[in-house]
A = this chain, B = another copy of it.
Amino acid sequence: MAYEKGIAPRLTKKGPAEEMDDSTKDEVPVLIAGFGRVGQVVGRVLRAKKIRFTALDASSEHVDFLKRFGAKLYYGDASRIDLLRAARADKARIFVLAVDDVEASLRIVKTVQQHFPHLLIYARARNRQHAYGLLNLGVTRVFRETMGTSLAMLSSVLQGMGLPFSEAEQAAERFRKYDEELLLETYKHQHDQEKLVERAKQAYAELERLFENDAKKDVA
> Do B154 and A145 touch across chains, with their CB atoms under 8 A apart?
no
Number of copies: 2
> Do B220 and A49 touch across chains, with their CB atoms under 8 A apart?
yes
Of B66, B96, B124, the residue contacting A149 (CB under 8 A) is B124
The A contact surface, by secondary structure, is: helix
A residues adjacent to B (C-beta < 8 A): 29-30, 37-38, 40-42, 44-49, 51, 61-62, 65-66, 68-69, 93-94, 96, 98, 120, 122, 124, 127, 141, 143-154, 156-158, 160-161, 163, 171-172, 175, 179, 200, 204, 207-208, 210-211, 214-215, 218-220
Closest 10 CB pairs of A and B: A148-B148, A41-B150, A148-B149, A48-B220, A143-B153, A48-B219, A65-B208, A37-B146, A38-B150, A45-B220
